[in-house]
Structure 1
Amino acid sequence: MKFLKPNYEFEHFTDVSLDFLRNHNVKAIFSDLDSTLAAHDELGDDEFTKWHEKLESNGVKLIVVSNNSQGRVDRFTKPYNIIGNGMCGKPLPSKIKKIMKEVGVTSEDSLFLGDQLFTDVLCGKMLGMKTVLVHPLGEEHEPWTVRWKRGLEASIKKRW
């Protein structure tokens, strides 16, 4: 059960503040995309833009790691010049370990941000990172496979 329980749980990605990041020595955020930073197939909004600008101006790297297609990831990340990786195979950590090496960060100075226990939190835990679970954005637009997993996640959360 401990591999599915996040270290922290917030309402929204913007709740991951600069103070929080400084207090936890975070230099890089590895983040899921859909339902975490934006609703499925949506682009970044003003809230995301402001949050990302704060991260960037304070030297915190944001790296998008998604199980969605590279095309979807590119549509979201390119306008912000963010490193974005699709088809990551979460919760398996192998592709993300390689990305960590490429950007020069460690598990100790990284954080994994996501909206799902079985992919994001589990992957972050397997990488030895601090994990933050956020409430999903645009749940009504999620594919049925994700909505189905939400029921399983709810039953696990009751046991915490």
Structure 2
Amino acid sequence: MSLFRPRDVIDHVAQITPHFLAARGLNGLLLDLDNTLVPYGSYAEEGEMVRWAGELRSAGVGLYLLSNATGKRASFWISRLGFAGVGMAGKPNPRAFRKALDALALPPHAVGMVGDQVFTDVLGGNLAGMHTILVRPLAVNALPHTRAARRLERLVLRRYGHDWEPGRRR
């Protein structure tokens, strides 16, 4: 069960600051897209995320988008966010995480995987030996298989003492 346990659970990615990362010994982040950085399916400008990513990059933090979204959708956001990445990553396959780590040129223990799903982001990050950070999903309007996975996630997270309801901020 520990493969499904995130190291940190936060409400929003903006809570990740250079200080947050330094306290954990992290120099880079792999970032999920949908419901982590932007609402699922959204193409609306997200100035807050662009500013947040810019602040982290200015502080020397390596960023890489690791998304299971289509390549076209990932490319759209990569160009706006200003850092490299890939769509159709195949998370939780550890190979996708290793490729992303290679792109950042950082070892797994120095990189955090940030995402909104236990069975893709947390599992894959833990399998790759990374520091996993689970963020509360931005929206609940996800695909049917994601909605089913959310029910299982709640059970897993309750086992670890987390009260987890997608879309409900603490």
| TM class by smaller structure | over 0.9
Matched, 1:102 2:117: no
Shift of 1:51: 0.9
Shift of 1:80: 2.7
The 2-side partners of 1:59 and 1:93 are apart by 25
Gaps of 5+ in 2: 161-170
For residues 102 and 45 of structure 1, do their structure 2 counterparts lie closer, same or farther at Cα, with a shift above 3 Å needed? closer
The 2-side partners of 1:22 and 1:125 are apart by 19
The 2-side partners of 1:17 and 1:135 are apart by 17
The 1-side partners of 2:138 and 2:93 are apart by 24
Any runs of at least 4 consecutive aligned residues in structure 1 with deviations exceeding 4 A, and if so which?
Answer: none
Shift of 1:102: 3.0
Q: Given residue 56 of structure 1, which amino acid in structure 2 is its aligned partner? A: R
Q: Given residue 12 of structure 1, which amino acid in structure 2 is its aligned partner? A: H
Matched, 1:134 2:135: yes
The 1-side partners of 2:101 and 2:117 are apart by 21
The 2-side partners of 1:28 and 1:102 are apart by 11
Look up the match of 1:145.
145
Shift of 1:104: 0.8
- Tell me the secondary structure at the aligned position of residue 158 of structure 1: helix
Shift of 1:159: 1.5
Look up the match of 2:157.
157
The 2-side partners of 1:122 and 1:45 are apart by 27
Contact 2:122–2:132 (8 Å) recurs in 1: yes
CA-to-partner distance for each residue in 1:24-81, whole Å, 9 max, x for gaps? 2211100111011111122451221221111011011110101111111001111232
The 1-side partners of 2:22 and 2:158 are apart by 31
Look up the match of 1:83.
84
The 2-side partners of 1:108 and 1:156 are apart by 24
Q: Given residue 27 of structure 1, which amino acid in structure 2 is its aligned partner? A: N
The 2-side partners of 1:13 and 1:130 are apart by 15
Q: Given residue 9 of structure 2, which amino acid in structure 1 is its aligned partner? A: E
Look up the match of 1:92.
93
Look up the match of 1:12.
12
- Tell me the secondary structure at the aligned position of residue 89 of structure 2: coil
109-118 vs 46-55, which deviates more?
Answer: 46-55
Gaps of 5+ in 1: none
Provide the identity percentage.
31
Q: Given residue 100 of structure 1, which amino acid in structure 2 is its aligned partner? A: L
Q: Given residue 97 of structure 1, which amino acid in structure 2 is its aligned partner? A: R
Q: Given residue 72 of structure 1, which amino acid in structure 2 is its aligned partner? A: R
Query: What is the Cα-based RMSD across aligned positions, in Å?
Result: 1.2
The number of aligned residues is 159
